[in-house]
Structure 1
């Protein structure tokens, strides 16, 4: 059976904005039809939008949860400032903590989920703001402890060749070649979400990044319908590609801020009940990257699902949603409790 999903401008969620520490964030806000059993916030990654959680929002509403899904900094209807430091994990976590307080008040704890860069954000949120959490989960993105030694992007790629694309995204080429051009953005987005050229050309690989010569060749997108493609293009055309790419330019500022999380030479622990959903076919974040991460948690459940990096979406959403739902129901029932 097909998984229910939001449509662009779906009436089940409202489009709203909030001023968060001097920046305007756009977010989708949905409330269940009956009693509210809790609140869940969902954080997207690259090159996505709040709409990337369209297959999960109806599920959470059906479970009685209030749902908050922001466009992350640099994306969609949210501001895209020039200052790279504002895109650091701590800065974004502080923004999202303020959003929680504005919507839920100072005392409510939420469930927090992330995918891709959003997964990195939610793990860091669990370190910087554990008092705001009932549970935390990540799709595809493993937890990585703050590093006591700075590792630049070149040395990171030596260790993790599957991250070679990040060196390109952090540099000037993609921003210069694509900018806010709707046609180039359309080619990029369709290609990122599975479209190919007439001879099998691909617009992106983890080994090489974006292949600019193929941007105008992309055919039908298998993961987005035409209305969804145009929705993404319209949102990206608003401020262009610079903001999303700034997330790849924060290695040094993240390192500088996260040194404070290391106490007496020991890495921090995540005390919040946690779920890690590994996608078996993820080329960017392969399953091996999550090995051993449980050593940093008081309570972690790890599961694997079929599918690639886009395991949130059909045809993979059913299995992913099943795992998330089981975790969320455990939080709501009180069978999983934070140790803070």
Structure 2
């Protein structure tokens, strides 16, 4: 599954696929290549967001493999070749964090330095790794979305209102549609229209047709289309569409339901309070043209929760790893090598 859409030369590496993990017995599809034999290069764990898979990291994988780094890039729960449970409780950060640690243990990633790099919901999972397993990592990089600090009293309505007060408009209205019963089937029936608003050529279209409550559902049902951004071809979107239709959207949408139902609050109660502040170095990629996840919202938790914080700004939309891969790769490399 990986190689047809992976970086050139991926046939030189043998990715493990569908490894059974315990105690949950779930199967994860992932690419792993160990660091070079010098013992000096760290391993990077790349965690994608919605509605993607590990292929989202193709530019970063090629760049860092070429420099001797180890790379672990899983399809996260609900995506790609990984299992897709529809029980929302299966998507708790504590459980998915344990899954990633199990993969690391399976591959012997225990002695090398490890940096976790996440985008979108991958940042939520990095937040789980940072708070449940801080000793396993040398640093954390958050792209577009910031650190989701433990919030035992989390309430989505309050969070949505506070973000609106901060930036002057509703950012997360699309959560309501994604949490609706049957939203996965509506999206599947209009997958082309859905992807066109997630990846529009003009990022401001997401501000009008995705951020406010009910607008994305209206867009999806309208069957409207908008051209893709310059960093994606129609072929890219066609492949993405086929993968999503094959696996369905019920699993990926569970990531949102963790938050709209408040399940995340119970999970956050498990985090030791001494782990609320991330002590390792943290990198934040602020995507200045991202109207859905504006940097101001991410910085609310990053500044108090990450005292060793490096911020880099990018004039891109949400998908900085696709829109500005050369600059992002350069900045990540400099940040890691400065530690």
Shift of 1:164: 1.0
Selected match of 2:271 from 261, 268, 272: 261
Q: Higher mean Cα deviation, 318-327 or 135-144?
A: 318-327
| Paired residues of 1:203 and 1:215 also in contact (CA < 8 A) | no
| Paired residues of 1:203 and 1:214 also in contact (CA < 8 A) | no
Residue in structure 2 matched with residue 104 of structure 1 by the alignment: 108
Following TM superposition, where does structure 1 have runs of at least 4 consecutive aligned residues deviating by more than 6 angstroms? Answer: 200-203
Distance in 2, Cα, partners of 1:313 & 1:40: 17
Residue in structure 1 matched with residue 16 of structure 2 by the alignment: 16
Distance in 2, Cα, partners of 1:286 & 1:259: 27
Q: Does 1:326 align with 2:299?
A: no
Residue in structure 2 matched with residue 178 of structure 1 by the alignment: 187
Equivalences, count? 316
| Paired residues of 1:31 and 1:61 also in contact (CA < 8 A) | no
Could you tell me which runs of 5 or more consecutive residues in structure 1 were left unpaired when the two chains were aligned.
1-5, 331-335
Selected match of 1:27 from 16, 25, 30: 30
Distance in 2, Cα, partners of 1:103 & 1:73: 18
| Paired residues of 1:148 and 1:262 also in contact (CA < 8 A) | no
Larger proportion of strand: 1
| Paired residues of 1:46 and 1:244 also in contact (CA < 8 A) | yes
Q: Does 1:194 align with 2:191?
A: no
Distance in 1, Cα, partners of 2:35 & 2:21: 25
Distance in 1, Cα, partners of 2:69 & 2:111: 17
| Structure 2 CA distance for partners of 1:310 and 1:166, relative to 1, 3 Å | same
Partner SS state of residue 69, structure 1:
strand
Selected match of 2:119 from 107, 115, 127: 115
Q: Higher mean Cα deviation, 12-21 or 27-36?
A: 27-36
| Structure 2 CA distance for partners of 1:59 and 1:39, relative to 1, 3 Å | same
Distance in 2, Cα, partners of 1:15 & 1:150: 38
Larger proportion of helix: 2
